[in-house]
Structure 1
Amino acid sequence: MTGEGFNMKRKIRANRKMTEDDVLRIKGELKRWEMKELGTKLTWDILERFSGFTRPALSAHPEIVDALKLARLALQSDRAAATRASLSRADEIVRENARLAKELAKYKRGEDVWHEKWICIAYNAQARGISIEELTQNIPPNGRR
């Protein structure tokens, strides 16, 4: 994601001192990271690229270091929450899968019981001279209850 003032291709300026305006701009950008406007991963390398200053120059300013820590903490807590939610959802899916497997096994047992009954019916019908076609004829409308 890109935002106002955010440029990942900015050249690193090791030859000039950081001004108070630079510090304020960098802190503003870090605040946007903290608010998750610019992505979910924030490293010193990324900070160097978007600020245009080296890590030593950046870390010489405690307020920038603190803002970076806050932004990282906010991003990390979101990842932890997302991981917990994913694990919770995975557990939910595993439980649902187990429930469905039990339900399927129950229906298969029921199908096996009906299959055995049908075999008995077919055998006894043929032994009495009744064809399968006669057994499977539609019921007349007045024969239904």
Structure 2
Amino acid sequence: MSNKFQRMTEQDEARIIRELNKWALGHFGSKLTWAILEDRFKFSRQSMQAKPQIKAAYDVAKQSLSKGEVTSKEVLDKTVDELKTEIESLKKQIEFFQEKELKWKKRWQQIAYHIRQKGIQMSDVDKPVHPEAALPSHTTTEKTLKEFDKEILFSGRI
């Protein structure tokens, strides 16, 4: 064995496997050879091939590259950018709904207060409805809740 190669540690092995997994995804182009890996990692082909996990990762990467399953770095970058944008959008939506939930909680506290002021217990109001009772229709419920929403969203009082 030539002296130009060093001894491989478990960390080296893990790093090579991580790199090969990235290679399989197209991060480093479409050409992969043992010679390229020797140059990149400074280990002999024989020492890398002797490690079953490295050999398996190499075979998977080669197979992925030969099938043309690789996504170009530009496409991956675009996907990452799209995902970042989607994450930001979802964060804004969560923020909006958290704010709306807080306003609803304040609204329900106000309703509960007024119900108690009328001498009615919340336990008398917040209970299941008899199965034969005719509940308001979906449309009527939506209209009612929309009125509450308007007050919550646009009133400075709550």
TM over 0.5: no
Specify the TM-score bucket, using the shorter chain as the normaliser: 0.3 to 0.5
Normalised by the size of structure 2, how large is the TM-score?
A: 0.41
Higher alpha-carbon Rg: 1
Q: TM-score with structure 1 length normalisation?
A: 0.44
